[in-house]
Homo-oligomer: A and B are copies of this chain.
Amino acid sequence: MDLLLRNAKVFTPAGPVECDVAVKDGKVTKVAGDLQEQASKVIDLTGKYVFPGLVDGHTHMEFPFMGTVTADDFFHGTRAAVAGGVTTIVDFITPPKGSSLLEAYKTWRSNADPKVISDYGLHMIVREATPATLEEIPTLIGQGVVSFKLFMAYKGELMLTDGEIYRLTKKISENGGVVGVHAENGEVIDELVGEYLRQGKVEPVYHSYTRPEELEVEATNRVATIGSVLGKGVKMYIVHTSTGESVDVMSSYRRKGYKFFNETTPHYLVLNVDALRRPDGHRFVCSPPYRSDEQRTKLWHRLGSGEIFTVGSDHCVYSDQQKRRFKDTVPPFNEIPNGVPGTETILPILFHFGVRKGLISPETMVAVTSYNSARLYGLFPRKGTFSIGSDADFAVLDPNLTVKITPDVLHSNIDYTIYDGVTVTGWNVMTIRRGEVVFQEGQVIGSKGSGSYVPGSNPTV
């Protein structure tokens, strides 16, 4: 036996288990109340909360967007991930326009493989629906890229027409893949952006005025309609949902037998639009924007009721300089690269603000951070579950450790955090990836490139 975890209280979607856990060859091999066997390494986890290693289904490492590349490459990004208890990320391949998806896949693999500390899977962003693109989809699914992201916003960049979405969703579904959608009406957003800019309203907060909630709900409703026209074989989810109503749209389809879901992110659960009014508001610019406290409550309740399926981080990090586009003053809101860090803080944010406050159960937290993600992105049962034969991936949380969040305690390649000064109780103190301790005592000890690519298979939802 390579590793023996003693006195582990492991939380699963079906309740906690108090047990000893044996690991061999990176897999969980035995679970018992008391394991007296020999092991190369024994860790006593008394007093800790053990969670299946998080599957962060939404990261953008080394992401080329809006004229720059995100500050966290696969090394820095997965360093932050494992520090936060994330043992698997699913990152977005972003092919240049007009290029081969398969080529982009290869590029991403060659970027990631030598750098990753966590394991990783890959989604594919699709920005056109040409015959060539459509033809590559089955091949990609064969390579383990089973989840495809389609954009209804970022007009002229990533935005697809409804016809293209229809065609791509059809092809993806016929080949057993899953469709992720950035749901905002980019056409109307563009009009609003133009109006605000013409009025000289350029501060970060106007970013939120140009992307009202209604446009997310509308786009969700639209793409769900498109999916439903294609039938019940379609598997679809809305990424980074920021409104309760968008969740309700998808729930109403599940209630009719469709496999339609929502992802949300921690920042929509704990931040509101006032973040954009701060002096450092430019750091907070992301899409969709933060909403009202009323919306936050709606999201928490829908998380608690099981109607939000996954929580990913949408980790998309830019340095303060990047956010300012290397100028002295903050540029107009529409020129600020969109994105915020997040993979390292999923666990403490959900635990402190959700579990401790009674808004969600630990079971739900486990479901949305690992079990559901792994199933939706085709990584289950290798990932996302505490089970015999599955990868021995664990986040070990000290439920009583109180930490004030500052850049110092975090591991991204930037010198700020959007949660600066926030104090939480419950902090990840050890991360085990395939039976190997890759993070402990505040130090990432997993080696660069030790992570593996995990090909997805057909989603099991």
A residues apposed to B, CB below 8 Å: 12-19, 22, 29-35, 155, 161-163, 166-167, 185, 187-188, 190-192, 212, 214-215, 217-218, 221-222, 225-226, 228-229, 244, 248, 251, 254-257, 301-302, 304-307, 359, 367, 371, 375, 380-381, 385, 387-389, 460
In the bound complex, what is the Cα–Cα distance between A33 and B167 (angstroms)? 44
Name which residue of chain B comes closest to A389, CB basis. B33
Tell me whether B12 and A388 are in contact (CB under 8 A): no
Which one of B18, B29, B187 lies within 8 Å of A161 (CB-CB)? B187
Tell me whether B188 and A214 are in contact (CB under 8 A): no
Please give the distance in Å from A165's CB to the nearest CB on chain B: 8
Which one of B18, B244, B255, B380 lies within 8 Å of A15 (CB-CB)? B380
Which one of B17, B155, B162, B166 lies within 8 Å of A388 (CB-CB)? B17
Q: A29-B33, A214-B225, A255-B302 are in contact. List 15 more A-B contacts (CB 8 A).
A: A14-B14, A15-B381, A18-B388, A19-B388, A30-B33, A33-B389, A162-B188, A163-B188, A163-B190, A188-B229, A212-B229, A215-B225, A215-B229, A222-B222, A254-B301
Please give the distance in Å from A443's CB to the nearest CB on chain B: 31
In the bound complex, what is the Cα–Cα distance between A359 and B185 (angstroms)? 30
- When distances are taken between beta carbons in the complex, the residues of chain B under 8 Å from A35 are 30
In the bound complex, what is the Cα–Cα distance between A29 and B19 (angstroms)? 9
Please give the distance in Å from A362's CB to the nearest CB on chain B: 11
Tell me whether B214 and A187 are in contact (CB under 8 A): no
Tell me whether B214 and A228 are in contact (CB under 8 A): yes
Name which residue of chain B comes closest to A257, CB basis. B301
Tell me whether A30 and B29 are in contact (CB under 8 A): no
User: 10 closest A-B pairs (Cβ-Cβ)?
Assistant: A162-B187, A30-B32, A163-B187, A218-B225, A254-B305, A13-B14, A19-B388, A166-B191, A31-B31, A257-B301
Which one of B17, B19, B221, B306 lies within 8 Å of A218 (CB-CB)? B221
